[in-house]
Amino acid sequence: MFLDEIGNCDKAVQAKLLRVLDHGEYRPLGGESVRVNVRVIGATNKDDSVFLHDFRARFKDSLRIPPLRERREDIPLLVRHWCSRLRKKTPDLVERFFQGGPAGTFEPRIHGRVVDYLLSQPLPCNVRELERSSSCA
């Protein structure tokens, strides 16, 4: 089971999840106990202080992925990816911004100043926020 933004769960929810992890069962509202056998992966941008100690201890390993502002070399790749997705959604509108590549593929033509501008920004947000909003750049 994947729990996205698990750091936003309050301590009461963490305690309930802890019971599920420890006992392998949960009880739906108005129902009988249900046995489960799950592995849990959680994602958050919060530090460990937001977790109950026992709850955090159930997560065996942790992997830190640095924020975008610490891995600026990914920005040109993200711009290419978003342009390619846009081309698939609206091929007639953006065809003039792409050039033919090997084996019939199309590569976006991205002006260097666009990438330079993004590289110069503080980027206080994550990748999803940057994709959705120009307020991060």
Q: Quick one: tokens of 31?
A: 């129902």
Q: Which is more confident, 89 or 20? A: 20
CA distance 2 to 39: 8
Q: Which is more confident, 79 or 93? A: 79
Nearest Cα to Cα of residue 3 among 35, 46, 32, 34 = 46
Average pLDDT over residues 64-89: 82
Structural domain boundaries of the chain?
A: 2-57, 68-136
Q: Quick one: tokens of 61?
A: 């390993």
Fold of 68-136: Helicase, Ruva Protein; domain 3 (1.10.8)
Q: Across-strand partners of 117?
A: none
Residue 16, CA atoms < 13 Å, CB-side half-sphere: 9
Average pLDDT over residues 117-130: 77
Does 116 have pLDDT greater than 70?
A: yes
Q: Quick one: tokens of 34?
A: 């249900």
